[in-house]
Amino acid sequence: MATQSVDLTIIGAGPAGLYAAYYAGFRGMRTAVVDSLPEPGGQVAALYPEKLIYDVAGFPAIKGQELIERCVEQAAAYDPAYVLGHRAETLTRHDDGSFTIGTHKGEQVSTRSVLITGGIGTFTPRPLPDAAEFEGRGLVYFVRELETMRDLDVLIVGGGDSAVDWALNLEGIARSITLIHRRDRFRAHEDSVQKLYASSVRVLTFTEVAQLRGADRLEEATVFSNKTDERETIKVQAVVAALGFTSDLGPLKSWDIEIDGRHVLVDTRMQTSIEGVFAAGDITEYEGKVRLIAVGFGEAATAVNNAAVYIDPAARVFPGHSSG
């Protein structure tokens, strides 16, 4: 069993967690970053490495993987200890206010404070009904590399940001793109939807998948109108089922942290119901919460600054500007 001792343990190596590792280093803290995935990046790196992200200040658009690489580079100046491929399982609070975090592989991290930046927790794609047999044979739930769709006829199923963004990003790569959505109202950003309708993507609303067919690989899809039951068979070699994800906070549920459904409740210091345990990013909930990467960065800085005071009550919450 390996053991290490740090000032702040960050649970989750997504953008908010990586920025927290940088900012904690700036405040002179030794940090460990624990994540169940084998590489930094969280959901962004695992699911959307080539998806363009538009809401990060200073970047008109940046691919997910590039953002992660920049965050890792930024944090590297303070040499955080990465504990990757380890799921944080247990949290023990000691009489002196410090903590021990145990992972599912037996590693233990002794830490003076904790910051949870676990995104949406463990995420599982929602399956396309009656289509499991084509997984790995043309059916995917996310596009890790756009070039895998080169010169293919692609059917995208969904009406959220991921579905619309992939449709737009695949223009000029895929031979043809059809996007179907079971309603006529999209969950994606309005600007993206307008660009979708102005693009070469064929958009069919009130439409769902009836059947996928193919021998060794996917060859065609039959779709139907859920208003008229009118059916159409489309030649496709790839289907992207962008139907969203179900999430599970997993072991966090047993940590006696106050949770509202799928999210961890925090106060204005980003502290949870356990003193010394903070949270930032998509996993948090409070009145007026907005789930953007940009917001997660700010929450991470707030959490780190308040964790510094938890560790040393004589410290200042605001340490001054990094350019000072």
φ, ψ dihedrals at 45, nearest 5°: -75, -35
Give 112's Cβ-side CA count (13 Å radius): 16
Token output for 146: 């756009």
The average pLDDT across 152-169 equals 93
The average pLDDT across 49-77 equals 91
153 is in an annotated binding site: no
Q: What is the pTM of this model?
A: 0.75
- For residues 123 and 162, the answer to whether their CB atoms sit within 8 Å is no
pLDDT tens digits along 267-277: 999 999 999 99
23 is in an annotated binding site: no
211 is in an annotated binding site: no
35 is in an annotated binding site: yes
322 is in an annotated binding site: yes
pLDDT value at residue 248: 66
Cα 272 to Cα 36, 176, 258, 282, distances in angstroms? 22, 48, 7, 14
123 is in an annotated binding site: yes
pLDDT value at residue 38: 78
User: In the chain, what are the domains?
Assistant: 3-123+245-311 (3.50.50.60), 127-241 (3.50.50.60)
184 is in an annotated binding site: no
Percent of the chain's residues with pLDDT above 70: 96
Residue 1 pLDDT grade (very low, low, confident, very high; cuts 50, 70, 90): very low
- For residues 322 and 27, the answer to whether their CB atoms sit within 8 Å is no
Question: Would strands 153-157 and 245-248 be described as parallel, antiparallel, or unpaired?
Answer: unpaired
pLDDT value at residue 2: 55
